[in-house]
Amino acid sequence: MYFLLLKLTFFGTLLILGRAIFAPNLEKATSYTFPEQVSLSRSQFVDRTPITTKSIKPKYWSDLEGYQYNYQGFNVKVHYLRETDGDISTYLDNYGLNNQKVKINAIDKQGQTGFYRLFEHDQVAYLTACINPAGSSTVDREQFFANRNAHDLRLDRVIPIVLGMADPRDARCLWVTVSAPIKNRPINTVHQQLETAWQEIYAWWMPRFPKV
């Protein structure tokens, strides 16, 4: 046990020193230019519009810049979070929906992409999740850090981290929210529409996750 702790301490010290020497400004390299168009094979792309998601608590949370990609029948909002704990409930509490605070009853589900959250408000159905730099999609803090522990703390990442090519803890996320009007349709039908769209959305964005 003593030697294990000693090795972990040495490993951590090495990472810190290496990063300080080779990559003191690594965090500044995470800016991202959103794509003009995201083409999905089963959905007709309409247009892209910039969005600013206002904080309900501006004293503690800053506004979020992002883009909304509009398709026939549904919309997709994407925010690039550079430092997060991956807890979507916290973001919904602090940003609400359409810049308004709301109360929702959500259902968390797990599919091929990972975890995602479904809920409805004002005759609109939503699917939301965090696309992680590596691993499956997540909706809460526990899932997010389980991903980070599984994919960030690997021996094959030691050299890239020391050389400034990677961050020891990659706490970034693409926060994606897919929405579609209910229009008197059965909610299961709308959920199926969102889940089908989400499969394509995840498949497009995951391999194109912003590089550090």
For residue 8, being part of any structural domain is answered with no
For residue 30, being part of any structural domain is answered with no
Report yes or no: 162 and 22 within 8 Å, Cβ to Cβ: yes
Residue-wise pLDDT for 150-190, tens only, equals 876 666 666 666 666 666 668 899 999 999 999 999 999 99
For residue 199, being part of any structural domain is answered with yes
Q: How many domains is the chain partitioned into structurally? A: 1
For residue 62, being part of any structural domain is answered with yes
- Per the structure, the complete domain to which residue 112 belongs is given by 46-208
* pTM for the whole structure: 0.81
Core vs surface per residue 143-181: b (16+ CB within 10 A) or e: bbbebbeeebeeeebeeebbebebbbebbbbbbbbbbbe
Residue-wise pLDDT for 31-56, tens only, equals 789 999 999 999 999 999 999 999 99
Q: Cα(first)–Cα(last) distance of the chain, in Å?
A: 35
d(CA 208, CA 212): 12
For residue 91, being part of any structural domain is answered with yes
For residue 24, being part of any structural domain is answered with no
Nearest alpha-carbon partner for 77 in 170, 197, 171: 197
